[in-house]
Amino acid sequence: MKKLIRLSIIALLFTACNTSNERADAYGNFEAIETVVSSEVNGKILELNISEGQNLKKGDVIGLIDTIQLSLKKQQVIAQKKAVSTKTNSILSQIDVIKEQKKKIVFEKERITNLLKDEAATQKQLDDINSQIDVFDKQIKSIEVQNSTVFNELKAMEKQIEQIDDQINRSVLKSPVTGTVLEKYAEQYELAIMGKPIYKIANLSKLELRVYISGSQLNKIKLRQKVNVLIDENAEENKKLKGEITWISEQSEFTPKIIQTKEERVNLVYAVKISVKNDGSLKIGMPGEVLFNAEK
């Protein structure tokens, strides 16, 4: 009988210890900002030096798309620009010739004007010279209009060359962010199409634990608050990590379906993001728990 009583006491103590373990304040899953990198030009992928799990830094060159057609197009536009530039030189030469002719007529006008004062020339002679000067001015203006059209054509060609250079630069595949390659969607020698995904990358040095809390818990948290984050270390123990609250939703929503019980799913909750430094043990989609009191 005494043995039975001792066993009952031990069982009660064990139960008391288990019930003293405090439940987490919120539950959720880890996520990261994932960037899907797509091709910005069309062409064959000549090089693609990435693999899933590879770490990249922002600006790292990881591949090259064929630029032969772009280079040929650039050479064609440069040749056209050179031909148009020759027209411009010819037009400018015509203007110089007419200005030289006008200069002589202007000199003659001054001479006739002086003779007219001495009554050694007629008014008709002066009028004829003025008419010639007007003709030269109109010719110069007409040629300048032609030159303006050619100049605009040259300017348009320069913009075409800049666009081609931009496309050539975009043919060099570079990592837009620092992170780890999560998925690879293309292979070397495949055809790249503008907008077609090539790979997915995310910065895994810090992950965010998205959890949902009730309205009664809002007064317990604030931005930049330090919290404890728990993840499963094994079947029986948890691993504790430090976290910081970086975002609290201003609008309530129904608990998402990832919450297990139907009773909890119908409640209005607020989403919260907690930034956690990744020591290598955190993975995207991994479940986690949070204790808002970091001293617990």
Which pLDDT does position 7 carry in this prediction?
37
pTM reported for the whole predicted model? 0.68
Residue 93 and residue 74 share a domain: yes
Flag whether 208 is in a domain: yes
Residue 136 and residue 91 share a domain: yes
**CB-CB neighbours of 212 under 10 Å:** 23
Task: Summarize pLDDT for 54-113 with one digit per residue, the tens.
Answer: 999 999 999 999 999 999 999 999 999 888 877 776 777 777 777 878 888 888 788 878
* Domain coverage including residue 256: 23-33+203-291
Choose between 82 and 38: higher pLDDT. 38
Measure the CA angle with vertex 227, ends 225 and 231; round to 5°. Answer: 150
Which pLDDT does position 264 carry in this prediction?
55
Spatial separation of the C-alpha atoms in residues 61 and 48, rounded to whole Å: 9
Residue 72 phi/psi, 5-degree rounding, is -65, -40
- Four-CA torsion 269, 232, 241, 212, nearest 10 degrees: 0
**The pLDDT of residue 42 is above 70:** yes
Flag whether 13 is in a domain: no
Which pLDDT does position 126 carry in this prediction?
79
Mean pLDDT of the chain: 84
Taking residues 17-42, report their average pLDDT: 82
User: Domain with 55 in it: what CATH number?
Assistant: 2.40.50.100
Q: Output DSSP code: residue 245.
A: E
Taking residues 220-227, report their average pLDDT: 93
Flag whether 84 is in a domain: yes
61-65 sheet: strands from edge to edge: 172-174, 61-65, 43-48, 191-192
Which pLDDT does position 210 carry in this prediction?
95
What burial letters (b/e) apply to 22-44, b meaning 16+ CB within 10 Å?
eebbbbbbbebeebebebebbbe
- Count the domains in the chain: 3
